[in-house]
Copies of this chain bind each other. A is one copy, B any other.
Amino acid sequence: MTRAQIIDAIKEKESFLCVGLDTDITKIPAHLLDMEDPVFEFNKAIIDATKDYTVSYKINTAFYEAMGIPGWQSLAKTLAYIPENIFTIADAKRGDIGNTADQYAKTFYETYPFDSVTVAPYMGKDSVAPFMQHKDKFAIVLGLTSNPGSADFQQQPFKDGLLYESVLSTVASWGTVENTMFVIGATRIEFLENVRRIIPEHFLLVPGVGTQGGDLNTVAMTAMNQDCSLLVNVSRAVIYASGGTDFAAAAATAASDYQKEMSALLKAKSIL
């Protein structure tokens, strides 16, 4: 998908919700466990229930990798089941030297045809650039993450500022807004303001809303630009909204509630 297509989808659905399919087989409703592929059946039901309210699905590959080959089969079936006009993210956080990064780009752009993949910046330009060189695909680079460990290096003094600030400005100079996004946690308003000073135009993938405690209204009012340029990810608060046989209906309600709030925020920012 292109940046313009993502923006169109946001306006059409009045939503910038990304649902995170961090599907853990130990957490899905018990009645699915007798089926041949419980993880796929769970994801299929979640996608059916939420696809009208979301513009993106993010698959956290770790949960699938941990299951071995059955996990990769569930991942492939899930990816194929996602409607074409919904932006897909392989949340894989890969990062390695050039010839190896090429193999990871092949993995998540071709073998498993996602629209984007999350990428770690520590190894520098030749580890990130291979993810920027594919038409209509996006490298989503870790900028400022939402976990406690983001304080260990990302938020520490680096050159004239902080490490994450330099990662944002440096990585932004390697690509364009058409092939690069950034992961920015929804943890503190002053961080979001600062991020928008450094990268006013780029799409941000924002985790940390919902179970992790981030506030959607604050994120939108602080970081939304004239094209929206936000994908707010919610995982557990949608997919595990109920642990019973009504899990899909509960996920639909949770996603619909986020969509309504997002619609109001898009209107408040005069994007709709």
A interface list, Cβ under 8 A from B: 22, 24, 60, 62-63, 65-69, 72-73, 76, 91, 93-98, 100-101, 103-104, 106-107, 110-112, 120-128, 142, 145-154, 156-159, 163, 166-167, 170
Residues of B within 8 A of A123 (CB): 93, 120, 142, 145, 147, 149-150, 154
Find chain B residues with CB under 8 A from A111 CB.
Answer: 65-68
- Alpha-carbon gap, A15 to B36, bound state (A): 48
Cβ-closest 10 pairs across A and B: A124-B149, A124-B152, A62-B103, A97-B147, A66-B103, A66-B106, A126-B149, A65-B107, A68-B111, A62-B100
Most buried by B among A98, A100, A156: A100
Number of copies of this kind of chain in the complex: 2
Contacting pair A147 B126 (CB below 8 A)? yes
Interface contact B72-A68, CB-CB below 8 Å:
yes
- Verify A95–B120 contact, CB threshold 8 A: yes
Given contacts A100-B22, A107-B62, A163-B158, contact A93 B68 (CB under 8 A): no
> Would A154 and B124 count as touching, CB distance under 8 A?
yes
Give Cα distance in the complex from A259 to B200, angstroms. Answer: 54
Taking CB atoms, residues of chain B closer than 8 Å to A60 are 96, 100, 103
| 5 contacting pairs across A/B (C-beta < 8 A) | A62-B104, A66-B111, A95-B120, A126-B149, A153-B163
Contacts of A98 in B (CB 8 A): 147
Which residues of chain B are near A151, meaning CB under 8 Å? 124
Residues of B contacting A91 in the complex (Cβ-Cβ under 8 angstroms): 96
Residues on B with beta carbons closer than 8 Å to the beta carbon of A96: 60, 62, 91, 93
- Closest-by-CB residue of B relative to A96 is B93
A60 CB to closest chain B CB, in angstroms? 6
Contact residues in B for A128 (Cβ distance below 8 Å): 149
Q: Cα distance A112–B71 when bound, in Å?
A: 13
Q: Tell me the smallest distance from the CB of A109 to a CB of chain B, in Å.
A: 10
A167 to B163, CA, bound (A): 12
Is there contact, CB below 8 Å, between A156 and B159?
yes
Contact at A122–B120, with CB atoms within 8 Å? yes
